[in-house]
A and B are shown apart, each in its own frame.
Chain A
Amino acid sequence: MTQRTRNFLLLAPAGAWFLLMLVVPLSVVLIFSFGERGAAGGYVPAFTFDQYANLPARWAAFRNTLVLAPVGTLSALLIAYPLAYFLAVRVSAKWKMLLLVLVIVPFWTSILIRSYAWIFLLGGRGIPALIEFIGFPAIRLINTPFSVLVGIIYGYLPLMVFPIFVSLDRLDKRLLEASSDLGAKPWRTFLQITLPLSIPGIATGCMLVFILLMGEYLIPAILGGGKVFFVGNALVDLFLQSRNWAFGSAVAVTLIVVMLATVTVYMRFMARLSANRDDVSLI
């Protein structure tokens, strides 16, 4: 058997699988987005931009996603960074791995059940009851943008901590010593050395979380109570309830395009930021 045939045989199952289950389905979505809706739902072949012209009908879902995805990403970053810093710089090697695994493990467990836990905590008998007990007026937490934000932070924090930890862990600790030996105050060392050198980790973490948030369905469905909905919720509605495949496809294509556009702009921005970083580290 030549090396060529061997490689072909090794790649054939994966290649066929990707073709049938990814390339063909995605092409169908693209084609359907230019079609029309059948009388009983489904799809009627056509070539029209009507579905795209109709996008403003789902503007609220796009608006919520484009507000809560960046806000959620930034909040997760603000909470994750100090923890990643603590794990990478302050914790002894013996505990580091264990503590890191403890952060990551929740991410691989069912996000459905973890979000469900917050119905408990934020619902009437949970934290609001506690607040009332202390003596403050009761507030409503569940089914608000706040509860969705809590769910997002809770769900995606591990994904944010990990890449930042990796970049801070790789950081040469002698740089920090050198900085303080040269008389820099701790915050100055942080701003001029630690933070710039951890930008690749921040960039990766933010991108991972942001991408996943753009397609989020479960967290708003469980903690938003139908009042706070994302594009994902609109998609479920269009495909599983109203069976409007043509319009649903147009929404899905738009989601991917918006996502790719945001990520591209973001990567450009980050590339420029880390180009500046070289200047900083040279000083």
Chain B
Amino acid sequence: MRIYATFVYLFLYIPIGVIAVFSFNSGRNASDFAGFSVKWYGKALANPFIMDALKTSLTVALLSALFASVFGAMAAVALQGIRGPVRTAFDAVINVAVMIPGIVIGIATLIGLVTIFEQLNPLLDAIWPFASAAPRLQMGKTSLVGAHTMFLMALCIIIVRARLAGMDRSLTEASSDLYATPFGTFRQVTLPQIFPAIAAGFLLSFTFSFDDFIIAFFVAGSETTLPIYVFSSIRRGVTPEINAIGTMVLGASLFILLIAQTLLRRGSRKVK
């Protein structure tokens, strides 16, 4: 049993380890280890395409995570006190959002937005009051943030809702018995309790958006995110530079995940 588990852990971590080891390879050839060197990290960090892609990915991930966690938490709090058709509609939409494959989200956003833009762009040209050309609506960072936020908002609603469901009702009742205003109760009782869930939702959303390839592949337009850059490089062949990027990305997500994990656990301990 123990031996079996060891094997599974090796299976899970050897591939990651191999990438990390080979990222320190000084040789040009990706599959022969020639000696220890950090030069590929330097090359990766000096590559303007990689840095641009990284900047795009970070901007999109930050905005998506922010919108998703804030709007998601707001919706989760409101949904708690609602029954009837609005609740049913939201439940249905949330389920659809997390159930349908990412690739379908990508496709739908692509053709949905392009169709809307095709209608709006001539309209914008017609009403544009200045001499210069009217701005054109097109796929890019905004559509990326739009698609990521949509999916991640559903995820954040689920996370915050789970925390709300685990909350002790008597605390909010006590608060209103003691003449706290609804907003006062929310700020002083509910918010501190759900805050770890919101923060964890933010961090999970950030990592998801940062790592997402398939939605971005359809929706990014002419923008390049880091996963899109890595994917097209892999297509051209394995290089130590990609290993270095991969190791950095894995390291960064591991770090963020550990924080998210700690927050979620600390949150659940407090509630109990």
Number of A-B contacts (CB under 8 A): 222
When the two chains form their complex, are residues A28 and B115 in contact, meaning their CB atoms are under 8 A apart? yes
Which residues of B pack against A, CB within 8 Å? Answer: 1-2, 4-5, 8-9, 11-16, 18-19, 22, 30-32, 67, 71-72, 74-75, 77-79, 81-82, 86, 90, 93, 96-97, 99-105, 107-113, 115-116, 146-147, 149-150, 153-154, 157, 182, 204, 207-208, 211, 213-214, 217-218, 227, 230-231, 234, 238, 242, 246, 249-250, 253-254, 257-258, 261
Who on chain A is nearest to B260 by CB? A108
Min CB distance A65 to B, Å, is 11
Q: A18-B97, A106-B12 are in contact. Are A7 and B78 (CB under 8 A)?
A: yes
A22 in contact (CB, < 8 A): yes
A130 in contact (CB, < 8 A): no
| Residues of A contacting B: mostly | helix
Q: A117–B16 Cα gap in the complex (Å)?
A: 7
Who on chain B is nearest to A20 by CB? B146
From the candidates A6, A32, A102, A214, name the one contacting B9 in the complex (CB within 8 A).
Answer: A102
A79 in contact (CB, < 8 A): yes
Which residues of A pack against B, CB within 8 Å? Answer: 3, 6-7, 10-11, 13-15, 17-18, 20-29, 32, 43, 79, 82-83, 86-87, 90, 99, 101-103, 105-106, 108-114, 116-121, 123, 125-126, 154, 157-158, 211-212, 214-218, 222, 232, 235-236, 239-240, 245, 248-249, 252, 255-256, 259
When the two chains form their complex, are residues B213 and A255 in contact, meaning their CB atoms are under 8 A apart? no
Q: A282–B60 Cα gap in the complex (Å)?
A: 54
Q: Which residues of B contact A82 (CB under 8 A)?
A: 1, 4-5
Among A15, A18, A106, A126, the most chain B Cβ lie within 10 Å of the Cβ of A18
Among B9, B22, B75, the most chain A Cβ lie within 10 Å of the Cβ of B75
Who on chain A is nearest to B70 by CB? A13
When the two chains form their complex, are residues B253 and A13 in contact, meaning their CB atoms are under 8 A apart? no
Q: A239–B77 Cα gap in the complex (Å)?
A: 38
When the two chains form their complex, are residues B250 and A113 in contact, meaning their CB atoms are under 8 A apart? yes
Q: A248–B150 Cα gap in the complex (Å)?
A: 22
